[in-house]
Amino acid sequence: MENIFYTLFTITYHLGAFSVFSIKFNLPTKIVFERGAITKVGYEVEGLGKKALIVITRGGSMIKFGYLGNVRLGLEARGIKYVVYNNVSSNPRAEEVEKGVEVAEKEKCDFVIGLGGGSAIDTAKAIAATLGSGKPFIKYLRREKEISAAYPIVAIPTTHGTGSEVDKYAVVTDVERKAKLTVISRHIYPKVAILDPETTVTLPPQLTAATAFDALSHAFEAYVNRSTNRLARVFAAESMKNIVENIEHAVKHGLNIAVRTKLLWASMLAGLAIDLVRTALCHAMEHPLSAFYPHVHHGLGLTILMPAWIKFTLESAKEDFAEIAEILGLKTEGLTIDQAAKAVYNFVVDLREKVGLNFKLRDLGVKAEDIDAMVENAFTYMKALIENNPRIPTKDELKKIYLESY
């Protein structure tokens, strides 16, 4: 029997009248959330396998700040062997997954650890799925084959933005198609997620802000989409509240562990929210952006696109954004629903500036002549997320949103 925590929530709310509904929530991941948790890796992963493939990005921060060393020591203490794979980009590519699979097979690894941000964790998931299912990864990425199994996965996030440690998604770039695609499978839920707030204090200010905005986008899009439900909104509301209360302080005072703890908690909650209901148009627009421009950090791309996404979506989701205004603690007394909803837009624009992310696409080197191709890319590969948005754009409208962010 699979070790899966599976529960059916049937919740009754009194909203003038009784409303009964059911939510299926599948979370097979053991979550370990505490300061110093990274030093207990060996204990938490014991029994998953005899040799781990540790996946990190090639930037070197996991080595520089000692996080890889912590994981190594923990595994060694339990007699677990390991090999490190660090050929991973900040926006991982399919060929990097395949090379990781080759290393794991050569070294006879039987489980995979993703250490770092979403890039490392998503790559670890993709490698584990390919090892378990037996076909070339590109076939799963292009949905020519279904994932049937995966080697055990351990996720150790060191940013407060991904949420990948608790979801069933892995985003990888198909370079040939110039598209970021999403693998979706219940088999790639991590067996264990180890969240240690102390590993996030080394994030520099801009990355602190960008990863927090990544999580904020997850929370907003989970709250405002066609698939949303009450449980997703519970997670999303708590997430966005913690983010807006702590992001500025984290940017200015990065060593404050209490603030970092709240942001990491918020990121995990937003991950749970999108695991239930996916994201929407903002992500549908960002994926083509960082597929065309791989140097663009996913969180920064979302930050730039978010105000234009809100402005476009407001028309079809005024009540939702008015609720978000209340959640964020904005002054809404005496405001109409329209005014409260628009206050969220103004708040996000102001928050971007306060945390030093007041950029436009042109500031990242994006060329205006690529926008038409990005629109086509979004409608080709991100149609499910586009159609999950409360207001579905035409191609001309999507182009206008990009141009407003340009």
Alpha-carbon radius of gyration of the chain: 20
The share of the chain scoring above pLDDT 90, in percent, equals: 93
Q: Residue 21 — very low, low, confident or very high, per pLDDT cuts 50/70/90?
A: low
Task: Give domain 30-199's CATH architecture.
Answer: 3-Layer(aba) Sandwich (3.40)
Q: What is the pLDDT of residues 260-281, one digit of tens each?
A: 999 999 999 999 999 999 999 9
Residue 13: its pLDDT value, please? 35
Rounded to 5 degrees, φ, ψ at 11 are -115, 135
From 180, 279, 299, select the one nearest 228 (Cα to Cα). 279
Which long-range contacts link 6-10 to residues 24+ away (Cβ below 8 Å)?
Answer: 9/231
What is the tens place of the pLDDT at every residue in 153-194?
A: 999 999 999 999 999 999 999 999 999 999 999 999 999 999
How many separate helices (H) and strands (E) can be counted in the chain? Answer: 16, 10
CA pair distance 228, 240, nearest whole angstrom:
15
The CATH label, of 1.20.1530.20, 1.10.10.10, 1.20.1090.10, 3.40.50.1820, for the domain at 203-404 is 1.20.1090.10
Q: Which of the residue ranges 24-28, 250-254, 275-279, 344-348 would you say has the lowest mean pLDDT?
A: 24-28
Give the integer Cα–Cα distance in Å for 388 and 340.
23
| Tokens describing residue 345 | 């837009």
pLDDT in tens, 77-88: 999 999 999 999
3-class DSSP state of 85? strand
Torsions phi, psi of 324, nearest 5?
-65, -40
- The answer for residues whose C-beta is within 8 angstroms of residue 72's C-beta and 6 or more apart is 54, 82
pTM above 0.85, yes or no: yes
For the chain, the domains span 30-199, 203-404
Residue 108: is it exposed, middle or buried by C-beta count within 10 angstroms (0-12/13-18/19+)?
A: exposed
The answer to whether the beta carbons of residues 125 and 100 sit under 8 Å apart is no
pLDDT grade, residue 15 (50/70/90)? very low
* 3-class secondary structure, 254: coil
| DSSP designation for 295 | T
> What is the CB neighbour count within 10 angstroms for residue 124?
35
DSSP summary character for residue 39: G
In the prediction, which pLDDT does 401 show? 98
Fold agreement (30-199, 203-404): no
